Homo-oligomer: A and B are copies of this chain.
Amino acid sequence: MSEHSTLVTRAGALDAADELAGTRKQFVLDDVVYLDGNSLGALPAHVPGRVEDVVRRQWGELRIRSWDESGWWTAPERIGDRIAPLVGAAAGQIVVGDSTSVNVFKALVAAVRMAESEPTGSGRDEILVDATTFPTDGYIAESAARMTGRTLRPVVPAEVPGALSDRTAAVLLNHVDYRTGRLHDLPSLTAAVHAAGALAVWDLCHSAGALPVGLDEHGVDLAVGCTYKYLNGGPGSPAYLYVRRDLQDRFDSPLPGWNSHAEPFGMRTDFEPAAGAPRGRVGTPDILSMLALEAALEVWDGVPIEAVRAKSLALTDFFLECVAAYAPEGRVESVTPVAHAERGSQVALRCEDAGDVMKRLIERGVVGDFRHPDVLRFGFTPLYVGFADVERAARVLGEVLR
């Protein structure tokens, strides 16, 4: 048997044994192999009807009454509770709203203020930030540092333990590196940050919905994440903020909008922060995007995140194997770790002419994305990507690279 037919056969067997194969039919997909769900998740098939109801009936007919009758007002916490089990959080600790960038600002400023209020807090004049972070986290961290009078120190995650000291107020880390797909060790890094008396803020954009996070289990202090990647919430769907329950009373937001007031309709001139997760809210929530997300999250009903993780690793393993078989020697090099414990749900291949190669891949029905300057990035969403897709993607890549 040729290498090709062997891999096709393997793909068929893996698909046949896939316990998550059934979730694919819940999404709108065509004959494209969509490996860009880590940028924008595919559309769950029931979402358009739900959005239509929100627009036509809830807005068009009930209008202002929908703030109560359609549950608009409570959507940020309700949807937060729906995301919670996916990231290992008990209910009442996540609120949805605003962009990831805005939530990074809230979380990091609040973390610095929490550190400051500790007995040893006055000397904690540094914020550490992942030096390999998606840029927005770095820009916002710089602003948070400037506005709280701290110094920002970029450090690669592996060197964070050595960089921690009694000067560290807070540390902002990415669970999965957006470029390389490297999974960082959240439990041990969080423990190291705590041992130094500082607070750990995690960005879950590239891990939530792809692998277990265990926020509560590992004692994470604050976390943020977007919802349009593995959570399939739609373009620019609102982000979320996690504040661990025992820290909620100390969450001192830099963006205390009327939605985070204890009595939002009291129209009081003095600010009294709400208790619990609503304290992370700011202004009026963007209901259309938010309720599209709520509908999209229904595809997770009955799907254990552990099964998603197992399939994700099998998909990326198989992709690496197929690439090794199909790609001409030396044309691409994986920058994604081989060890499962260090791998997210994507494979990043370094390739000299990556921009051009990705264009040709897309023309041939294999959609990944290009990350400046030389990375081909392929994201694997276990809810709708199968093993035959993986074989085809690698095969087309091999052809394009020749």
CB distance from A353 to the nearest CB of B (A): 17
A100 on the interface (CB 8 Å rule)?
A: yes
- Contact status B135-A261, CB under 8 Å: yes
Chain A 238-272 per-residue mask, 1 if CB under 8 angstroms from chain B, else 0: 11000000000000011111110100011111010
- What number of copies of this chain does the assembly contain? 2
B residues in contact with A39, CB < 8 Å: 64
A82 on the interface (CB 8 Å rule)?
A: no
B residues in contact with A64, CB < 8 Å: 36, 39-40, 367, 369
Nearest-neighbor residue (CB-CB) of A54 within chain B: B235
B residues in contact with A235, CB < 8 Å: 58-59, 66-67, 72, 284, 286-288
B residues in contact with A344, CB < 8 Å: none
- Contact status A135-B269, CB under 8 Å: yes
B residues in contact with A267, CB < 8 Å: 134-135, 179, 371-372
A-B contact sample (17 more), CB < 8 A, given A102-B255, A237-B286, A288-B289: A30-B61, A48-B60, A51-B52, A59-B235, A64-B369, A99-B283, A99-B286, A101-B258, A134-B258, A135-B269, A135-B271, A136-B259, A139-B256, A140-B257, A147-B254, A235-B287, A237-B288
Rounded to whole angstroms, the CA-CA distance of A60 and B235 in the bound complex is 10
Of the residues B101, B271, B282, B292, contact of A288 by C-beta under 8 Å: B292
Contacts A28-B61, A60-B28, A66-B235 known; A105 to B255 CB distance under 8 Å?
A: yes
- Contact status A255-B140, CB under 8 Å: yes
6 nearest CB pairs, A to B: A99-B283, A101-B257, A101-B283, A235-B287, A136-B258, A43-B60
CB distance from A363 to the nearest CB of B (A): 12
B residues in contact with A271, CB < 8 Å: 135, 138-139, 142
A131 on the interface (CB 8 Å rule)?
A: yes
A154 on the interface (CB 8 Å rule)?
A: yes
Name which of A138, A239, A255, A286 has the most chain B CB atoms within 10 A of its CB: A286
Contacts A234-B287, A267-B135 known; A48 to B42 CB distance under 8 Å?
A: no
- Contact status A101-B236, CB under 8 Å: no
Chain A 125-152 per-residue mask, 1 if CB under 8 angstroms from chain B, else 0: 0000001001110111011000110000
Chain A 96-126 per-residue mask, 1 if CB under 8 angstroms from chain B, else 0: 0011111001000100000000000000000
A319 on the interface (CB 8 Å rule)?
A: no
B residues in contact with A67, CB < 8 Å: 40, 235
- Contact status A55-B43, CB under 8 Å: yes
Contacts A102-B255, A269-B154 known; A234 to B288 CB distance under 8 Å?
A: yes
B residues in contact with A148, CB < 8 Å: 147
- Contact status A256-B59, CB under 8 Å: no
- Contact status A256-B143, CB under 8 Å: yes
B residues in contact with A51, CB < 8 Å: 51-52, 55, 288
- Contact status B66-A287, CB under 8 Å: no
A63 on the interface (CB 8 Å rule)?
A: yes
B residues in contact with A266, CB < 8 Å: 372
- Contact status A265-B63, CB under 8 Å: no
- Contact status A255-B101, CB under 8 Å: yes
